[in-house]
Amino acid sequence: MQQIPRHYIYLLLAGVVVWQLLAPMPLPISPSTATRGLYEAIRAVPEGKLIIISTDWDASTQAETWPQTEAVIHACFQARKRFVIMNMQPPMGVKLANDIALEVGKQYRARYGVDWANWGYKYGYGNVLMAMAKDIAKTIGDDFYGRPVTRLPLMQGVRSIRDIGLVVEVTGLAGVTEYWIGLIQGPYQVPFAAAYTAVMAPGYYPYLDSGQMKGMLVGAKGAAEMEALVRSPGKATTIMNVQSWAHLLIIALIVVGNLGYLLARGRREERRQ
């Protein structure tokens, strides 16, 4: 029981994934307090203020971060809140998020530059945020398409970080949150929320507990919960079915491995006696 060849394990896992993709078993999804926090934070953004969605992720984590970004954008459009996408690392995230916003925007007949915009990739983490806090237009300069952001209608009246109503950071990269909280949320009291991959989320619970973070999406589960809140089941809901059975398979494998280990230990002790 301790020696199942790894090829069989790979096959089993692939089988479970394919089974759930082809014939998903609908399972209940109930939004957690952390997900509700993010949803409510988006709805609470005052008229005239912008939401920044910082998409610091790339294709390696897109199974979780893509549906998270998609669900957050749905929530923004549904609540009629204007938002901007920006990205500090890795640069790929800004293009992927742009594709998502273009696709989701079609459903809401959203117009680029009026309902949403893309500030593009900005190099420099801390110094970008410090400069942005004082003067957004000067710091950002051009948008994703290379045109000056000052020409975008949605930027009218947006000068400094005080004109931002919420920052939502979607990331698979540790360390960016600390910049947002240290340089923007703390000193300027700009509401902050985030969406993380499931593996890194436990590290950020202290910020949620202290109230520095209004809400948090935890992995694909958080995205699926957000999809349930915005009543637009998508990728994450499907992923959660797959992940559910994959988790059960891994737990079963661990139990089988440990049963084998305990039986073998019992036999060894018998022989010794």
Partner 1 sequence: MREALQSLFLLRQAPNPTALAICLGLALAASVLLLYALHRLLGPRGRRWLIALVTFVGGLFFGLEWFYPARGHPSKNFLTDWIEPVSNMLTVVGAFTVGLGIYSLSQVHGRNVRLRRPGWHNSLAFFIAMVAMFVFGLWEHYLHLREPLPKLVPWPKGIYEILFSGLFAPLQAATFSLLAFYIASAAYRAFRIRTAEAGLMMAAAFVVMLGQVPVGAWLTSAIPAASGWSFFRLEKLGEWVLAWLNTPAQRAITFGVAIGALAMSLRVWLSLERGTFFSEQS
Write out the binding residues for partner 1, residues 152-171 only, by CB under 8 A. 160, 162
Among 105, 130, 212, 233, the residue binding partner 1 under the rule CB under 8 A is: 130
Q: Is 186 in the site for partner 1 (CB under 8 A)?
A: no
CA distance 1 to 95: 47
Interface map 2-21 toward partner 1 (x if CB under 8 A):
x-x-x--xx--xx-------
The residues near 138 (Cβ < 8 Å, ≥ 6 apart) are 131
Q: Is 205 in the site for partner 1 (CB under 8 A)?
A: yes
Q: Please choose, out of 37-45, 73-81, 100-108, 235-243, the segment that lies near partner 1 by the rule CB under 8 A.
A: 235-243
Q: Please choose, out of 45-53, 75-83, 103-111, 218-226, the segment that lies near partner 1 by the rule CB under 8 A.
A: 218-226
Using CB atoms within 10 Å of the CB of residue 238, give its burial: 0 to 12 exposed, 13 to 18 middle, 19+ buried: middle
Percent of the chain that is helix, strand, coil (3-state, to 5): 60, 15, 30
User: Site residues for partner 1, window 70-99 (CB under 8 A)?
Assistant: 92, 95-96, 99
The helix (run of H) or strand (run of E) holding residue 193 is strand 192-196
Residue placing its CB nearer to partner 1 in the complex, 53 or 243: 243
Beta-ladder partners of 196 = 171, 218
Nearest to 128 by CA among 156, 193, 120: 120
Q: Is 221 in the site for partner 1 (CB under 8 A)?
A: yes
Residue placing its CB nearer to partner 1 in the complex, 44 or 248: 248
